[in-house]
Amino acid sequence: MTIYYTIVFFLMGTVFGSFYNVVGYRIPKGESIVSPPSHCPKCNHKLTAWELIPILSYLFLGRKCSSCKVKISPFYAFFEFFTGILFGASYLLFGMSLELLIALVFLSTLVIVIISDYQTMIIADEVLLFGIVTISILLLFKGGFDLLLSSMISGFIAFFFMWAIKLFGDYVFKKEAMGGGDVKLMFLFGLYFGYEMALFAIFLSAFIGLPISLVILILKKDNVIPYGPFLSLAAMVITFLQLDIQKLGSLLNWW
């Protein structure tokens, strides 16, 4: 049954991943996520049901629009597959539990953040608010008001720490060094992880982002690089390794 449910969650994740592509692209631009229906951005061809099957449609169509034959970016299929992996791995890690539901909401928010920040350089407040409110409600069911209160306090600690880093960066570089969305994202991290691991996510994101940023700088000569995807990837690593302050301390002592 474990294999069966893992496959079910993977397939469910690919469907949600397809939807997250739409949300991540449209919400930051102030567009509706339901109207107009999914269509080719080049010729406006309305996609049929057969053209909306996650991953498979991309492959069966030969990676081209069925109408104008313009190549479809692999970006969309990648995030469908990636979200499927996240959902399947989450089931294996948490089983059928409230923790699974909380993790899926958290990871889903991160996927949308990666998509939106990469494509538009914006982390929409609506996306973060949905994640924060939903997780807060689930935490209330999980551990009552005490757990929610402590999680909220951790969220504020992480938020203000990141805000201080932003202010320092703005002062040093004499321009905006970090977007407000990255600061707000840290509240979500603190809410989910606790402030200790939320702050560790900042360090880990820098470790993940440095080599990738150098490649982008060399290839594109672009000095504007979104930070939200690196923070989100760091949070995913912490989630699936189930790192906490005790495990982190043990790793540091071993190192």
pLDDT in tens, 69-112: 778 788 899 999 999 999 999 999 999 999 999 999 999 999 99
Cα gap 2→96, rounded to integer Å: 10
Query: Is it true that the peptide bond before 36 is cis, omega within 30 degrees of 0?
Result: yes
Residue 165: pLDDT band (50, 70, 90) is very high
Across the chain, mean pLDDT equals 89
pTM of the model: 0.92
The residue assigned the tokens 């880093």 is: 165
Phi-psi region of 149 (alpha: psi -120 to 50; beta: other; left: phi over 0): alpha
Mean pLDDT of 48-54: 79
Q: Is the pLDDT of residue 174 over 70?
A: yes
Contact call for residues 93 and 9 (beta carbons, < 8 A): no
Distance (Å, rounded) from C-alpha 41 to C-alpha 39?
Answer: 6
Q: What mean pLDDT comes out for the span 220-238?
A: 85
> What pLDDT does 255 receive?
57
pLDDT of 252 higher than 70: no
Say how far apart CA 53 and CA 58 lie, in whole Å.
8
